[in-house]
Amino acid sequence: MAKPADHQLRPLRLISPDSQLLNEASVRIAPADVQSIGMQSIIDAMLAIAKGEQGNPDRPTLVGLAAPQVGVNKRIIIVGVNADGLGGAIDFWVYINPEIVDASQTTNFDREGCYSTDRVCGIVERADQITIKALDRAGMPVNETYSGFPARIFQHEIDHLNGIRFPDRITDDQKLLWVEPENFGDFREQWASWSHKCPRSKWLAIKSGVDTPSN
């Protein structure tokens, strides 16, 4: 009998920012496997985790989640397609094997944070508008276009599937920031002038596991 996958032996949870799985590309899912019990269980667990991180606009709020963030090396993301970045209620949709098939030439800078980067936040350049293709949780193809904050979430989460976290996109160290959870409400409004910088060496130490992430 085949050995069950590790994620089927334990409840899923957000893994530590120093986990090397977060630096690896994830594996595509065969369309025939999308509706399997195992895959649907992963999706349900991811949705439960995301919804559990809602409800406090003064602290970090989860607006998207990629399977690697919960220790599963599969190309699954969930996205708050109506998220506005202000901490309000969110509708999460599921995307399997998502790809960006078109992106606008116009870009914008905005704040980003992540449960997989510890207290490291930043100001990141992203395309204003993207078109994605993927499968939904029923295995049906979807092709959708997003702009504004949801487009940013898609780009952030698809990066996770490729082993990329947003600090790796930042080339100007002045845009690499440090935010304690209790200060996140202020950061939402003051991000453009946030004075608490994060040395790049600190981020690289967290990413490599040399520096133990904060509790």
Q: Are 177 and 123 in contact (CB under 8 A)?
A: yes
pTM of the model: 0.91
Output the tens digit of pLDDT for each of the chain's 215 residues. 344 444 454 579 999 999 999 999 999 999 999 999 999 999 999 999 998 876 666 677 889 999 999 999 999 999 999 998 777 778 999 999 999 999 999 999 999 999 999 999 999 999 999 999 999 999 999 999 999 999 999 999 999 999 999 999 999 999 999 999 999 989 999 999 999 999 999 999 999 887 666 65
Q: Annotated catalytic residue: which of 157, 180, 182, 189?
A: 157
Whether 180 is a known active-site residue: answer: no
Question: What per-residue confidence (pLDDT) applies to 55?
Answer: 61
SS3 211: coil
Question: What per-residue confidence (pLDDT) applies to 90?
Answer: 85
**Gap between the Cα atoms of 83 and 89, Å rounded:** 8
Question: What per-residue confidence (pLDDT) applies to 162?
Answer: 98
Domains annotated on the chain, with CATH: 9-208 (3.90.45.10)
Please classify residue 23 by burial: count the beta carbons closer than 10 Å to its beta carbon, then call 0-12 exposed, 13-18 middle and 19+ buried: middle
Helical H runs in 20-144?
37-52
- For the CA atoms of the chain, what is the radius of gyration? 17
